[in-house]
Amino acid sequence: MPTVPPEIESGKAKKLSESTLLLNLPAEVAILILSYLPLRTLLDFSLTSHASHTLAAAALQTLSIGVYPTRICSLISQLSTSSIDIRSSSEIAAHPDQSANVIIPDAYAHDPATLVAFHDRLLSTVLTRYCSSLRTLQLSIWTLSMPVARALAKCKSLERLTLLVENPFQRSRGFRFVREGRPNQLPAESPEAWDLISGTWSRLEKLKLEGAGVMMEQVEALVRPNRRLKELWLKDCGRVGARLFHFLAEWPGRESLERLTFSRCGDVNEGILECIDKLPRLKLLCISGSMSLSPTVVLQMNAEKWHIPTIIIPRGSVDDLSTVDHIEVDPQYESSDTD
């Protein structure tokens, strides 16, 4: 029978003794201590016994997770999301970021169906395992599939949700799916999956959706029961347009809303300005990427009526041309037969 090296045996004994000491503490104290551990350490602790697994599951309140084909894709995603963390500095200090960025080894060697199956299985398993304790979730997905949506729907206690939908293979120039001479694509988002999570949460204080193919009716169903919602962030959600502002103007929770970001979504016009007037507690308003909305009118409305401290107005609209004295044209583009 093979013998265990002394250093390994002593390491196991040390871990067991530490686990035993922690398990002897009151559950509330143990959970508070565990909530400050890095995710990998917390998961290691959960494997020591059934009791430690229960404590670890209860301690995992903040989770950031994504699956990526390459390390570069992972780094790009982290950079893009870290700059728009929906948690305040006090929340970050109270609950450190417990992140799990999974890199698929040799992803280029597998076909899309295999990779998507792995992506869905991994994320749905993690969410299902820790659904009862999660309060803050930052989830990066390739597409919202039914398995992931079912797991999300079990996370009933969420207070802060960031859902980033992005195809990492489009960012990696050297990564191409080629099978039988033709490129394969990842499956499109399922409308039924968005219906499955609509109306799931009632405790959300912050909601961020980026790159999502969600319909306006589904956004309404997500927001409607969350009357304590303080921050709503929509970016690159092309199917959501001016109707969102009309919905928010009549929504019973509108007086709780403090931060509203509507960036590069469906186009809006000046008809939404009266709706913004019905959101009395806004401290930040971002309406970027809309070519039909005059920055001058927005600024004037804010100065006269809204008095929102931070406002990000659309750029590049027709009004901006009025400030241009002349436009220089490269001579090589001038026609030789013009006067």
Tokens of 242: 């001016």
pLDDT of residue 33: 77
Give the C-alpha separation, 72 to 239, whole Å. Answer: 29
Backbone angles phi, psi at 190, to 5 degrees: -95, 120
336 pLDDT tier (thresholds 50, 70, 90): very low
Task: Look at phi and psi of residue 218 and say left if phi exceeds 0, alpha if psi is from -120 to 50, else beta.
Answer: alpha
Give the C-alpha separation, 208 to 85, whole Å. Answer: 9
pLDDT of residue 24: 76
The string of pLDDT tens digits covering residues 15-40 is 545 566 667 777 777 777 777 777 77
Cβ atoms of 57 and 23 within 8 Å: the answer is no
pLDDT at 266 over 50: yes
109 pLDDT tier (thresholds 50, 70, 90): confident
Least trusted range by pLDDT, from 116-125, 187-196, 199-208: 187-196
DSSP secondary structure letters along 218-249? HHHHHHTT-TT--EEEEES-TT--THHHHHHH
Give the C-alpha separation, 202 to 198, whole Å. Answer: 11
Domain ranges of the chain: 24-59, 62-197
pLDDT of residue 88: 52
Cβ atoms of 211 and 163 within 8 Å: the answer is no
CA dihedral 34, 37, 40, 42 (to 10 degrees): -10
For residue 23, how many other CB atoms are within 10 A of its CB? 15
pTM of the model: 0.77
